Amino acid sequence: MASSTHPSAPCAACKFLRRKCIQGCVFSPYFPPEDPIKFTNVHKIFGASNVSKLLNEIAPHQREDAVNSLAYEAEARLKDPVYGCVGAISVLQRQVLRLQKELDATNADLIRFSSNQNTFNIPQSSGNNYPQNPHALPPNYGTYSWNYDP
Amino acid sequence: MASSTHPSAPCAACKFLRRKCIQGCVFSPYFPPEDPIKFTNVHKIFGASNVSKLLNEIAPHQREDAVNSLAYEAEARLKDPVYGCVGAISVLQRQVLRLQKELDATNADLIRFSSNQNTFNIPQSSGNNYPQNPHALPPNYGTYSWNYDP
């Protein structure tokens, strides 16, 4: 139930937790009543207390991004309890490696063309440059491994 | 403290939670005592109760992968409280799009070569094929967005 200082409907978090949604509620700006699933998912995976602690440790202007990334992780974990959004990371890492391999092969073809035909210059119009750091992947956290094979 | 039915040292979870590590402890196979940080991180982000529930819903042969993906997510969230491992997804998605663009441009260069020089055939040795589904990205969960700009 909304308090007199918070005239709108209680946020989805306070409604779910059956508590009064007071002004300054840490959840209210990010869990609107019209999207109850967002809080239910985040609560199920992380727990309301952990989310509240996390939000209080983050600058206000970054809280919306934090909640939305938590909601993404939570939904991914509910859809895939074993891998969660780490499955998406595995898919993307393989895609990066495959594309890099294809690009290497295509660049090798272009070099072969230009060396076989001296009068030919490699076209510059595309502005295509060999990537400076082709294997830059996101950081590896810990030493934990898994076999993701969808 | 290890019980008589569980002669080794208590697992990292039971040690942290100050409880007896009994035979059949759901945490024990995945949280060895020599890696206490793994449990501390997972507990801090997801909570012991949520992890225990999740493990009990997963087939035993998938639990190790599940715990390791949770540990990865937890470590990522502790290092980057705003984006967690969703930051890695953003980095990888951009990398895939950049590589795909570079590959498109390089393939266009190759086609330009072959059309300018009829006697030339595009070399086949690399086995390089245009990707059939160049924009296959992992599923989007929910409609939540964020501005990740490291």
pLDDT along chain B (150 residues), means of 10: 55 96 95 95 96 95 94 94 92 94 92 69 42 40 57
Q: Over 80: is that where the pLDDT of A150 sits? A: no
Q: How confident is the model at residue A148 (pLDDT cuts 50, 70, 90)?
A: low
CA atoms within 13 A on the CB side of A110: 23
Specify whether B56 is located in the same domain as B92.
Answer: no
In a domain, A123, yes or no: no
Q: Over 60: is that where the pLDDT of A139 sits? A: no
Residue B21, SS3?
A: strand
In a domain, A21, yes or no: yes
- Chain A within 8 Å of B103 (Cβ-Cβ)? yes
In a domain, A88, yes or no: yes
In a domain, A33, yes or no: yes
Alpha-carbon distance of A76 to A85, in angstroms, equals: 5
- Chain A within 8 Å of B73 (Cβ-Cβ)? yes
B65·A147 Cβ contact <8 A: yes
Q: Which structure tokens are listed for A14?
A: 């306070």
pLDDT score, position B124: 46
- Chain B within 8 Å of A26 (Cβ-Cβ)? no
Residues of B in contact with A65 (CB under 8 A): 82-83, 146-148
Alpha-carbon distance of A128 to B34, in angstroms, equals: 49
Specify whether A13 is located in the same domain as A74.
Answer: yes
Specify whether B12 is located in the same domain as B72.
Answer: yes
pLDDT score, position A54: 96
Helix H segments across A47-85? 48-56, 63-79
User: What is this model's ipTM?
Assistant: 0.76
Q: In this structure, are residues A137 and A90 in contact, taking their beta carbons and an 8 Å threshold?
A: no
- Chain A within 8 Å of B16 (Cβ-Cβ)? no
Distance set, CA A94 to CA A90, A98, A102, A138 (Å): 6, 6, 12, 13
pLDDT score, position B112: 83
- pTM of the full predicted structure? 0.76
Q: Report the number of distinct structural domains present in chain B.
A: 2
pLDDT score, position A125: 39
Distance set, CA A126 to CA A73, A110, B75, B105 (Å): 37, 13, 40, 6
Query: Token pair 């210059």 is at which residue?
Result: A121
Distance set, CA A53 to CA A23, A46, A63, B37, B76 (Å): 18, 11, 12, 20, 17
Alpha-carbon distance of B135 to B133, in angstroms, equals: 6
pLDDT score, position B41: 96
Q: What is the DSSP letter of A62?
A: G
Q: In this structure, are residues B150 and B91 in contact, taking their beta carbons and an 8 Å threshold?
A: yes
Specify whether A92 is located in the same domain as A39.
Answer: no
Q: In this structure, are residues B62 and B37 in contact, taking their beta carbons and an 8 Å threshold?
A: no
Sign for the CA dihedral angle at B91, B92, B98, B102 comes to positive
Domain that holds residue B95: 83-118
In a domain, A30, yes or no: yes
Residue A35 neighbours by CB under 8 Å, 6+ apart:
A12
